[in-house]
Amino acid sequence: MFFGLPAVAFALAFFAFFGGELVIEDWTIDARLRLPRPPWRIVDLIAAALLLCTALLALAVAAHGITD
C-alpha cells in the first residue's frame, strides 16, 4: 500500500495528461502516446500539475523507503 498507491496515482495522472490509443490485432500490440496540442486548455494544465505532484510524491515515497 505504501509504495503502490503513489504509483497508481502517478499512472492515472500520466494517462490523464497524455492522450493515446492501444490497438491489438493479429498478435500485435500497437501503443501510441501523444501530448495535448497547444494552446493548452485549463484541463490540460491541471493534468500537468497533477502529473508533476504525483511524480514528486512517488519519488519522495521511494526515497523514504530507501532510507529506512
At 2-43, the pLDDT tens digits run 788 888 888 888 888 888 888 999 999 998 988 888 898 999
Q: What is the pTM of this model?
A: 0.71
Burial 41-55 (b: 16+ CB within 10 A, else e): eeebeebbebbeebe
Radius of gyration, CA atoms only, the chain = 15
